[in-house]
Chains A and B, each alone.
Chain A
Protein backbone atom coordinates (compact mmCIF):
# COMPACT_ATOMS: atom_id res chain seq x y z
CA UNK A 1 0.00 0.00 0.00
CA UNK A 2 2.72 2.42 0.96
CA UNK A 3 4.64 1.60 -2.18
CA UNK A 4 1.58 2.24 -4.31
CA UNK A 5 1.09 5.64 -2.68
CA UNK A 6 4.76 6.45 -3.18
CA UNK A 7 4.58 5.52 -6.86
CA UNK A 8 1.47 7.66 -7.29
CA UNK A 9 3.16 10.62 -5.61
CA UNK A 10 6.24 10.18 -7.76
CA UNK A 11 4.15 9.93 -10.92
CA UNK A 12 2.38 13.14 -9.94
CA UNK A 13 5.68 14.96 -9.45
CA UNK A 14 7.00 13.67 -12.77
CA UNK A 15 3.84 14.84 -14.54
CA UNK A 16 4.15 18.25 -12.89
CA UNK A 17 7.80 18.54 -13.86
CA UNK A 18 7.13 17.40 -17.43
CA UNK A 19 4.44 20.03 -17.92
CA UNK A 20 6.75 22.64 -16.40
CA UNK A 21 9.66 21.70 -18.67
CA UNK A 22 7.36 21.45 -21.68
CA UNK A 23 6.19 25.01 -21.12
CA UNK A 24 9.75 26.26 -20.91
CA UNK A 25 10.79 24.50 -24.12
CA UNK A 26 8.24 26.19 -26.36
CA UNK A 27 10.30 28.91 -28.06
CA UNK A 28 7.75 31.72 -28.27
CA UNK A 29 6.52 31.78 -24.69
CA UNK A 30 8.19 35.04 -23.69
CA UNK A 31 5.05 37.02 -24.45
CA UNK A 32 3.03 35.57 -21.58
CA UNK A 33 5.85 35.72 -19.05
CA UNK A 34 5.52 38.21 -16.26
CA UNK A 35 6.84 41.65 -17.14
CA UNK A 36 8.77 41.97 -13.85
CA UNK A 37 11.55 39.68 -15.08
CA UNK A 38 11.97 41.51 -18.36
CA UNK A 39 11.91 44.84 -16.55
CA UNK A 40 14.65 43.77 -14.11
CA UNK A 41 16.72 42.34 -16.97
CA UNK A 42 16.58 45.63 -18.86
CA UNK A 43 17.50 47.94 -15.99
CA UNK A 44 19.60 45.89 -13.49
CA UNK A 45 22.90 46.52 -15.29
CA UNK A 46 22.50 50.30 -15.08
CA UNK A 47 21.00 50.39 -11.59
CA UNK A 48 23.25 47.93 -9.76
CA UNK A 49 26.34 47.64 -11.97
CA UNK A 50 26.26 43.84 -11.65
CA UNK A 51 26.97 41.82 -14.78
CA UNK A 52 24.96 38.90 -13.39
CA UNK A 53 21.30 39.88 -13.20
CA UNK A 54 20.46 36.98 -10.87
CA UNK A 55 22.96 38.29 -8.32
CA UNK A 56 21.52 41.78 -8.51
CA UNK A 57 18.09 40.34 -7.70
CA UNK A 58 19.34 38.11 -4.87
CA UNK A 59 21.50 40.74 -3.16
CA UNK A 60 19.86 44.09 -3.89
CA UNK A 61 16.28 43.80 -5.17
CA UNK A 62 15.56 40.95 -2.74
CA UNK A 63 18.36 41.55 -0.24
CA UNK A 64 16.04 41.33 2.73
CA UNK A 65 14.97 37.87 1.60
CA UNK A 66 18.63 36.78 1.54
CA UNK A 67 19.02 38.05 5.10
CA UNK A 68 16.08 35.85 6.07
CA UNK A 69 17.66 32.83 4.36
CA UNK A 70 20.91 33.37 6.23
CA UNK A 71 18.96 33.57 9.48
CA UNK A 72 17.16 30.29 8.72
CA UNK A 73 20.49 28.61 8.00
CA UNK A 74 21.90 30.00 11.24
CA UNK A 75 18.98 28.57 13.23
CA UNK A 76 19.39 25.17 11.53
CA UNK A 77 23.11 25.11 12.33
CA UNK A 78 22.37 26.13 15.92
CA UNK A 79 19.85 23.31 16.26
CA UNK A 80 22.29 20.73 14.92
CA UNK A 81 25.10 21.84 17.23
CA UNK A 82 22.77 21.70 20.23
CA UNK A 83 21.42 18.28 19.20
CA UNK A 84 24.82 16.82 18.35
CA UNK A 85 26.63 18.17 21.34
CA UNK A 86 30.32 17.43 21.08
CA UNK A 87 31.76 15.76 24.12
CA UNK A 88 35.09 17.48 23.69
CA UNK A 89 37.24 14.37 23.81
CA UNK A 90 38.61 12.93 20.61
CA UNK A 91 37.21 9.66 19.41
CA UNK A 92 39.81 6.95 19.76
CA UNK A 93 38.85 4.73 16.88
CA UNK A 94 40.70 5.95 13.83
CA UNK A 95 39.98 4.37 10.49
CA UNK A 96 42.89 3.11 8.48
CA UNK A 97 43.08 5.25 5.40
CA UNK A 98 45.30 4.59 2.49
CA UNK A 99 48.24 6.84 1.77
CA UNK A 100 46.75 7.91 -1.55
CA UNK A 101 43.50 9.06 0.04
CA UNK A 102 45.33 11.04 2.73
CA UNK A 103 47.71 12.77 0.36
CA UNK A 104 45.02 13.33 -2.23
CA UNK A 105 42.72 15.03 0.25
CA UNK A 106 45.54 17.24 1.48
CA UNK A 107 46.27 18.19 -2.10
CA UNK A 108 42.61 18.73 -2.92
CA UNK A 109 41.67 20.90 0.06
CA UNK A 110 43.54 24.11 -0.94
CA UNK A 111 42.19 23.82 -4.47
CA UNK A 112 38.60 23.44 -3.23
CA UNK A 113 39.09 26.35 -0.84
CA UNK A 114 40.46 28.50 -3.66
CA UNK A 115 37.59 27.53 -5.95
CA UNK A 116 35.08 28.44 -3.26
CA UNK A 117 36.76 31.82 -2.80
CA UNK A 118 36.67 32.34 -6.56
CA UNK A 119 32.96 31.51 -6.70
CA UNK A 120 32.31 33.98 -3.87
CA UNK A 121 34.45 36.80 -5.29
CA UNK A 122 33.03 36.52 -8.80
CA UNK A 123 29.39 36.26 -7.74
CA UNK A 124 28.48 39.50 -9.49
CA UNK A 125 30.25 38.55 -12.75
CA UNK A 126 29.54 34.85 -13.31
CA UNK A 127 27.14 32.25 -11.90
CA UNK A 128 27.71 31.53 -8.24
CA UNK A 129 27.93 33.66 -5.16
CA UNK A 130 28.03 33.47 -1.40
CA UNK A 131 25.86 30.41 -0.83
CA UNK A 132 27.42 27.94 -3.28
CA UNK A 133 30.92 29.24 -2.53
CA UNK A 134 30.43 28.74 1.20
CA UNK A 135 29.09 25.24 0.62
CA UNK A 136 32.09 24.36 -1.56
CA UNK A 137 34.46 25.55 1.20
CA UNK A 138 32.57 23.47 3.77
CA UNK A 139 32.74 20.40 1.51
CA UNK A 140 36.48 20.87 1.10
CA UNK A 141 36.75 21.09 4.85
CA UNK A 142 34.84 17.84 5.17
CA UNK A 143 37.29 16.13 2.81
CA UNK A 144 40.21 17.04 5.09
CA UNK A 145 38.19 16.13 8.20
CA UNK A 146 37.39 12.70 6.77
CA UNK A 147 40.96 11.64 6.18
CA UNK A 148 43.25 13.21 8.76
CA UNK A 149 43.35 11.81 12.26
CA UNK A 150 43.70 15.07 14.17
CA UNK A 151 42.33 18.32 12.88
CA UNK A 152 42.89 21.53 14.77
CA UNK A 153 39.36 22.79 14.40
CA UNK A 154 38.98 26.07 16.22
CA UNK A 155 35.32 26.19 17.17
CA UNK A 156 35.59 29.59 18.82
CA UNK A 157 37.15 31.11 15.72
CA UNK A 158 34.33 29.71 13.60
CA UNK A 159 31.67 31.14 15.92
CA UNK A 160 33.41 34.53 15.98
CA UNK A 161 33.71 34.56 12.17
CA UNK A 162 30.07 33.59 11.80
CA UNK A 163 28.82 36.22 14.22
CA UNK A 164 31.00 38.95 12.74
CA UNK A 165 29.82 38.09 9.22
CA UNK A 166 26.16 38.19 10.25
CA UNK A 167 26.69 41.51 12.04
CA UNK A 168 28.46 43.00 9.01
CA UNK A 169 25.56 41.98 6.77
CA UNK A 170 23.13 43.88 8.99
CA UNK A 171 25.69 46.69 9.39
CA UNK A 172 25.96 47.12 5.62
CA UNK A 173 22.18 47.25 5.44
CA UNK A 174 21.99 49.87 8.19
CA UNK A 175 24.65 52.01 6.47
CA UNK A 176 22.45 51.93 3.36
CA UNK A 177 19.49 52.96 5.52
CA UNK A 178 21.37 55.95 6.94
CA UNK A 179 22.90 56.91 3.58
CA UNK A 180 21.40 58.91 0.72
CA UNK A 181 19.28 56.00 -0.54
CA UNK A 182 17.31 55.91 2.72
CA UNK A 183 16.40 52.25 2.50
CA UNK A 184 17.74 49.04 4.05
CA UNK A 185 20.54 47.39 2.02
CA UNK A 186 20.64 50.31 -0.42
CA UNK A 187 23.87 50.58 -2.41
CA UNK A 188 26.08 53.39 -1.11
CA UNK A 189 29.38 52.68 -2.90
CA UNK A 190 30.37 53.80 -6.42
CA UNK A 191 29.41 51.30 -9.09
CA UNK A 192 32.84 51.22 -10.77
CA UNK A 193 33.61 49.82 -14.20
CA UNK A 194 31.01 47.35 -15.44
CA UNK A 195 32.13 43.69 -15.61
CA UNK A 196 35.27 44.02 -13.47
CA UNK A 197 35.95 42.42 -10.08
CA UNK A 198 35.83 45.70 -8.15
CA UNK A 199 32.46 46.90 -9.32
CA UNK A 200 28.76 46.73 -8.47
CA UNK A 201 28.95 48.66 -5.19
CA UNK A 202 28.12 46.62 -2.10
CA UNK A 203 27.24 43.37 -3.91
CA UNK A 204 30.75 41.79 -3.63
CA UNK A 205 30.94 42.89 0.02
CA UNK A 206 27.60 41.30 0.90
CA UNK A 207 28.46 38.15 -0.99
CA UNK A 208 31.84 37.90 0.78
CA UNK A 209 30.06 38.25 4.12
CA UNK A 210 27.43 35.64 3.17
CA UNK A 211 30.15 33.29 1.93
CA UNK A 212 32.13 33.54 5.17
CA UNK A 213 28.99 32.99 7.21
CA UNK A 214 27.74 29.99 5.22
CA UNK A 215 31.21 28.41 5.07
CA UNK A 216 31.82 28.76 8.81
CA UNK A 217 28.32 27.55 9.70
CA UNK A 218 28.33 24.48 7.50
CA UNK A 219 31.88 23.56 8.51
CA UNK A 220 30.76 23.67 12.14
CA UNK A 221 27.73 21.52 11.28
CA UNK A 222 29.86 18.90 9.54
CA UNK A 223 32.38 18.95 12.38
CA UNK A 224 29.69 18.63 15.04
CA UNK A 225 28.08 15.69 13.23
CA UNK A 226 31.40 13.96 12.64
CA UNK A 227 32.88 14.34 16.10
CA UNK A 228 29.81 13.91 18.29
CA UNK A 229 29.30 10.75 20.29
Chain B
Protein backbone atom coordinates (compact mmCIF):
# COMPACT_ATOMS: atom_id res chain seq x y z
CA UNK B 1 0.00 0.00 0.00
CA UNK B 2 2.76 2.40 0.98
CA UNK B 3 4.67 1.40 -2.11
CA UNK B 4 1.67 2.34 -4.33
CA UNK B 5 1.46 5.76 -2.67
CA UNK B 6 5.14 6.27 -3.44
CA UNK B 7 4.54 5.38 -7.08
CA UNK B 8 1.56 7.75 -7.29
CA UNK B 9 3.62 10.62 -5.86
CA UNK B 10 6.44 9.89 -8.28
CA UNK B 11 4.08 9.82 -11.28
CA UNK B 12 2.38 13.02 -10.12
CA UNK B 13 5.76 14.70 -9.76
CA UNK B 14 6.79 13.67 -13.28
CA UNK B 15 3.49 14.94 -14.71
CA UNK B 16 3.85 18.23 -12.83
CA UNK B 17 7.42 18.72 -14.03
CA UNK B 18 6.37 17.99 -17.60
CA UNK B 19 3.59 20.58 -17.26
CA UNK B 20 6.07 23.14 -15.97
CA UNK B 21 8.42 22.35 -18.85
CA UNK B 22 5.59 22.79 -21.37
CA UNK B 23 4.70 26.23 -20.07
CA UNK B 24 8.24 27.35 -19.30
CA UNK B 25 9.05 30.78 -20.75
CA UNK B 26 12.51 29.68 -21.91
CA UNK B 27 10.86 27.47 -24.50
CA UNK B 28 10.43 30.63 -26.53
CA UNK B 29 8.00 31.05 -29.35
CA UNK B 30 7.48 27.34 -29.80
CA UNK B 31 7.09 25.79 -33.23
CA UNK B 32 8.67 28.70 -35.08
CA UNK B 33 11.93 28.34 -33.21
CA UNK B 34 11.76 24.62 -33.58
CA UNK B 35 11.54 25.05 -37.37
CA UNK B 36 14.47 27.39 -37.43
CA UNK B 37 16.69 25.09 -35.43
CA UNK B 38 15.54 21.77 -36.82
CA UNK B 39 15.09 22.43 -40.52
CA UNK B 40 17.67 25.02 -41.41
CA UNK B 41 20.75 22.81 -40.89
CA UNK B 42 19.19 20.02 -42.95
CA UNK B 43 19.74 21.91 -46.23
CA UNK B 44 23.32 22.04 -47.40
CA UNK B 45 26.47 20.34 -46.27
CA UNK B 46 29.89 19.30 -47.49
CA UNK B 47 30.44 18.35 -51.11
CA UNK B 48 33.39 17.37 -53.27
CA UNK B 49 33.08 18.08 -56.98
CA UNK B 50 35.15 19.00 -60.03
CA UNK B 51 35.33 22.48 -61.53
CA UNK B 52 35.43 22.96 -65.30
CA UNK B 53 39.22 23.49 -65.18
CA UNK B 54 39.60 20.01 -63.70
CA UNK B 55 40.39 21.11 -60.17
CA UNK B 56 38.70 19.49 -57.19
CA UNK B 57 36.51 21.82 -55.20
CA UNK B 58 34.63 21.44 -51.95
CA UNK B 59 32.17 23.66 -50.13
CA UNK B 60 35.22 24.94 -48.22
CA UNK B 61 36.62 26.36 -51.46
CA UNK B 62 33.92 29.05 -51.19
CA UNK B 63 34.21 29.69 -47.47
CA UNK B 64 33.33 33.26 -46.56
CA UNK B 65 31.17 33.70 -49.62
CA UNK B 66 27.42 33.61 -49.95
CA UNK B 67 26.67 30.62 -52.16
CA UNK B 68 23.83 30.37 -54.65
CA UNK B 69 23.55 26.64 -55.25
CA UNK B 70 21.56 25.46 -58.25
CA UNK B 71 21.36 21.96 -59.72
CA UNK B 72 20.48 21.59 -63.41
CA UNK B 73 21.71 20.41 -66.80
CA UNK B 74 22.73 22.11 -70.02
CA UNK B 75 20.25 20.38 -72.34
CA UNK B 76 17.45 21.90 -70.25
CA UNK B 77 15.81 24.49 -72.52
CA UNK B 78 13.45 26.23 -70.13
CA UNK B 79 13.92 26.16 -66.36
CA UNK B 80 17.74 26.18 -66.22
CA UNK B 81 18.41 29.06 -68.64
CA UNK B 82 15.58 31.06 -67.07
CA UNK B 83 17.03 30.60 -63.60
CA UNK B 84 20.64 31.24 -64.63
CA UNK B 85 19.49 34.32 -66.52
CA UNK B 86 17.86 35.67 -63.41
CA UNK B 87 20.98 34.98 -61.35
CA UNK B 88 23.08 36.80 -63.96
CA UNK B 89 20.70 39.78 -63.92
CA UNK B 90 20.76 39.87 -60.11
CA UNK B 91 24.59 39.84 -60.11
CA UNK B 92 24.59 42.72 -62.59
CA UNK B 93 22.23 44.68 -60.34
CA UNK B 94 24.41 44.11 -57.30
CA UNK B 95 27.48 45.61 -58.97
CA UNK B 96 30.62 45.26 -56.81
CA UNK B 97 28.61 43.61 -54.01
CA UNK B 98 28.39 40.55 -56.28
CA UNK B 99 32.01 39.80 -55.28
CA UNK B 100 30.59 38.48 -52.01
CA UNK B 101 28.55 35.89 -53.86
CA UNK B 102 29.51 32.62 -55.48
CA UNK B 103 26.86 31.16 -57.78
CA UNK B 104 27.28 27.43 -58.46
CA UNK B 105 25.66 25.44 -61.25
CA UNK B 106 25.97 21.75 -60.40
CA UNK B 107 25.10 19.39 -63.24
CA UNK B 108 22.85 16.45 -62.52
CA UNK B 109 23.61 15.10 -66.01
CA UNK B 110 27.37 14.44 -65.94
CA UNK B 111 27.10 12.00 -68.84
CA UNK B 112 26.36 14.81 -71.30
CA UNK B 113 27.72 17.77 -69.36
CA UNK B 114 31.42 17.32 -69.76
CA UNK B 115 33.71 19.97 -68.31
CA UNK B 116 34.00 21.65 -71.72
CA UNK B 117 30.23 21.72 -72.33
CA UNK B 118 29.63 23.03 -68.84
CA UNK B 119 32.29 25.75 -69.13
CA UNK B 120 30.84 27.05 -72.40
CA UNK B 121 27.36 26.97 -70.99
CA UNK B 122 27.79 28.88 -67.73
CA UNK B 123 30.02 31.61 -69.16
CA UNK B 124 27.28 32.56 -71.62
CA UNK B 125 25.22 33.73 -68.65
CA UNK B 126 27.92 35.22 -66.45
CA UNK B 127 31.58 34.35 -66.11
CA UNK B 128 31.20 34.42 -62.32
CA UNK B 129 28.89 31.41 -62.34
CA UNK B 130 30.97 28.30 -61.64
CA UNK B 131 29.96 25.05 -63.33
CA UNK B 132 30.59 21.91 -61.30
CA UNK B 133 30.47 18.26 -62.23
CA UNK B 134 31.84 15.11 -60.66
CA UNK B 135 31.54 11.38 -60.48
CA UNK B 136 27.91 10.25 -60.32
CA UNK B 137 28.25 9.34 -56.64
CA UNK B 138 29.76 12.75 -55.80
CA UNK B 139 26.88 14.52 -57.53
CA UNK B 140 24.40 12.24 -55.78
CA UNK B 141 25.98 13.10 -52.42
CA UNK B 142 25.83 16.85 -53.13
CA UNK B 143 22.21 16.59 -54.27
CA UNK B 144 21.33 14.59 -51.17
CA UNK B 145 22.86 17.24 -48.93
CA UNK B 146 20.57 19.85 -50.51
CA UNK B 147 17.53 17.60 -50.68
CA UNK B 148 17.61 17.77 -54.46
CA UNK B 149 15.76 15.19 -56.54
CA UNK B 150 16.77 14.24 -60.08
CA UNK B 151 15.93 11.39 -62.42
CA UNK B 152 16.00 10.80 -66.15
CA UNK B 153 12.70 10.74 -68.02
CA UNK B 154 12.99 8.64 -71.14
CA UNK B 155 11.33 10.00 -74.26
CA UNK B 156 12.29 9.33 -77.85
CA UNK B 157 11.80 12.99 -78.78
CA UNK B 158 14.47 14.36 -76.47
CA UNK B 159 18.14 14.67 -77.39
CA UNK B 160 19.82 11.32 -76.60
CA UNK B 161 16.40 9.97 -75.64
CA UNK B 162 15.99 11.53 -72.22
CA UNK B 163 15.10 14.64 -70.29
CA UNK B 164 15.96 15.18 -66.66
CA UNK B 165 13.38 15.81 -63.97
CA UNK B 166 15.06 17.82 -61.25
CA UNK B 167 14.54 20.14 -58.31
CA UNK B 168 14.77 23.61 -59.81
CA UNK B 169 15.48 25.74 -56.76
CA UNK B 170 18.33 28.13 -55.99
CA UNK B 171 19.55 27.61 -52.43
CA UNK B 172 20.89 30.77 -50.81
CA UNK B 173 23.56 29.86 -48.27
CA UNK B 174 25.05 32.58 -46.08
CA UNK B 175 28.79 33.16 -45.61
CA UNK B 176 28.89 30.37 -43.03
CA UNK B 177 27.06 28.24 -45.57
CA UNK B 178 23.92 28.02 -43.51
CA UNK B 179 20.71 27.87 -45.51
CA UNK B 180 18.81 31.17 -45.51
CA UNK B 181 16.41 31.26 -48.47
CA UNK B 182 15.40 29.80 -51.79
CA UNK B 183 14.82 31.45 -55.14
CA UNK B 184 12.90 29.89 -57.99
CA UNK B 185 12.79 30.64 -61.68
CA UNK B 186 9.78 32.84 -60.93
CA UNK B 187 11.71 35.06 -58.52
CA UNK B 188 12.35 38.36 -60.33
CA UNK B 189 16.06 39.27 -60.46
CA UNK B 190 15.39 42.57 -58.66
CA UNK B 191 13.89 40.61 -55.77
CA UNK B 192 16.90 38.27 -55.71
CA UNK B 193 19.22 41.28 -55.62
CA UNK B 194 17.23 42.88 -52.76
CA UNK B 195 17.36 39.69 -50.70
CA UNK B 196 21.09 39.30 -51.29
CA UNK B 197 21.74 42.95 -50.47
CA UNK B 198 19.98 42.49 -47.12
CA UNK B 199 21.95 39.34 -46.43
CA UNK B 200 25.22 41.11 -47.21
CA UNK B 201 24.25 44.06 -44.97
CA UNK B 202 23.54 41.62 -42.14
CA UNK B 203 26.87 39.83 -42.38
CA UNK B 204 29.22 42.74 -43.05
The answer to whether A and B assemble together is: no
